[in-house]
Amino acid sequence: MASQKLGLHQSLSQKLSPQQIQFIKLLQIPTTELSSRVEEELEINPALEEGREDPAQDQNDNPEQDEKPFDDPSEVAEGEGIDDKINIEDYLRDSDQAGYKLQGDGPSADEDDREIPVVSGTTINDLLIQQLSFLPLSEKRLAIGMQLIGSIDNDGYIRRDLFSIANDLAFSQNIETTEEELEDILDMIQQFDPPGIAARNLQECLILQLDRKRGNYEVASIAIQIVEDHFEDFTKKHYEKIEKKLGVEDHVLMKEAISMITHLNPKPGEVSDGGGSGSQFITPDFILVNNSGKLELSLNGQNAPELKVNRTYRNMLEHLAKTTNRTRQEKEALGFIKQKLDSAQWFIDAIRQRQQTLLKTMNAIVGFQYDYFLEGDESKLKPMILKDVASTIEMDISTVSRVTNSKFVQTDFGTFPLKYFFSEGIASTTDGEDHSSREVKSILKEIIDREDKEKPLSDEKLEEMLIARGYQIARRTVAKYREQLNIPVARLRKEI
């Protein structure tokens, strides 16, 4: 029988404090979500309230309210780290704590990206329901129509089969219906705007849109024949084969029909005059302005109200702290008030540190891509990875990753996600300098846009043309960049 030995093993491990966890969560959310998070905290913590603690402290407490010239990044306070414990004295003076450095690696390829926030307003469902209400339907058929509209995906398609939708109606609303009745009401909804809505597949979506183009009857008729009877050949761009099968002798007419199809909308749910469910409106986290050649960076602080600790709670804490021979109720009250004050101050510190970290990181990005931000010329984007920024601001890669994830900057030439400015570098054979992969992609797209569409360029030819311009690049890299740009192979780019 084997003997067992008992022993002691000592090890060290790091555990995040509650306020550090709070800071991490606040750091990664975009500006549009910050206001909701602040409102939530205000609701659950009576010791936290909106307003300034002291007008004299406003400049230190709210750095995001003042414009920050890029060439003076030292104005962003670095801080000393969020402490694990806050005692009563912390509430009687301004606290300038900040700077917990996160540990970890950079983002992985499958890192979760938050959805871009969408402003509230009329959705595509609202518009469809409004159109449904104009139809003279019975209460039952109106309910069926509502169920069908509710089954439409964000891109405008109904992907659930009608049998399943009929079962949903039976179980959830006790409405008995048939697939035939569902088909009848679906036909009505498919006549709504936007054209192509409520289709069950791409082929049906295109046909629904072509049916409304009877003004150009001859071209539309050929286009409908192509989609209905030769859809597979069309998706493979076998246009000459389609032309022979249809017996169309007018080459120009055939070309117009193909053009009509390719200009249809494959995702009708993402377009509507009233702001469809897929319409995305971005609220920038940063605002960068070129003021006569001087870049000025500021935080969009519209969703981060000024916060302070409730004075009544502080006074209550002071009073109970001075009381001797406390009763049980007073001890419980003291503990409750202390916990709420701790939570309030932690939250204020985390918000402050979030703003400082965001500014510090963005200042570093602007420093790397200064020439680009002056003119907006994509060819001037330099190779830059998370590690470059992390080394500059002396923070961990994971911190930079959280700051750049789902954050946007508004410039004089557009609003961009921060990740847009990051790219690997490739070496150039002519000048020996590094060029960003984004620069090469821009050149590649330019070449393809100018190619003869009747004789599109192969990846090998694209490789030769890029090398001729001084970029040392392999054919497989050309193929990878082309795929990342969502550009198909030469055969599928061919037009007649």
Contact 145, 132 (CB under 8 A): yes
pLDDT mean across residues, the chain: 77
The answer to whether the bond into 194 is cis (omega within 30° of 0) is yes
Torsional sign, CA 144, 145, 149, 150: negative
Contact 91, 345 (CB under 8 A): yes
Query: Cα(240)–Cα(226) distance, rounded to whole angstroms?
Result: 12
**Every domain of the chain and the residues it spans:** 18-105+284-357, 118-194, 202-264, 423-493
pLDDT recorded at residue 366: 94
pLDDT recorded at residue 477: 83
Percentage of the chain exceeding pLDDT 70: 76
Q: Which residue carries 């439409």 as its tokens?
A: 152
User: What is the CA angle 388-368-73, rounded to 5?
Assistant: 95
User: In 53-154, where do the E strands start and end?
Assistant: 68-69
pLDDT recorded at residue 486: 84
Whats the size of the chain, residue-wise? 496
89-95 long-range contacts (CB < 8 A, ≥24 apart) are 90/345, 91/309, 91/314, 91/317, 91/341, 91/345, 92/314, 94/53, 94/54, 94/57, 94/60, 94/61, 95/345, 95/348, 95/349
Please give the torsion angle defined by the CA atoms of residues 59, 63, 66 and 68, in that order, rounded to the nearest 10 degrees: 130
Tell me the per-residue pLDDT of 155-180, one tens digit each, with 9 for 90 and over. Answer: 899 998 999 999 989 988 899 999 99
Q: Residue 15 in 3-state DSSP?
A: coil
- Assigned superfamily of 423-493: Homeodomain-like (1.10.10.60)
Q: What is the pLDDT along the chain (496 residues), one digit of tens a residue?
A: 555 667 676 666 556 666 677 778 888 888 778 888 888 888 998 888 887 766 544 444 444 444 344 443 333 333 333 333 333 333 333 333 333 223 333 334 343 444 334 343 457 888 898 889 888 889 999 999 999 999 998 889 999 899 999 998 998 889 999 999 999 999 999 988 888 999 999 999 999 999 887 666 788 888 999 999 989 888 888 888 888 888 877 778 888 888 888 888 888 887 544 444 444 456 788 989 888 788 999 888 766 678 888 888 888 888 887 777 778 888 888 888 888 888 888 888 888 888 899 999 999 999 999 988 988 877 788 888 899 999 999 998 988 988 888 888 888 877 888 988 887 655 444 454 556 677 788 788 888 888 888 888 888 888 888 888 877 788 888 888 888 888 888 888 887 6
User: What is the CA angle 288-294-298, rounded to 5?
Assistant: 30
Q: Which pTM value belongs to this model?
A: 0.48
Q: Residue 422 in 3-state DSSP?
A: coil
pLDDT recorded at residue 182: 94
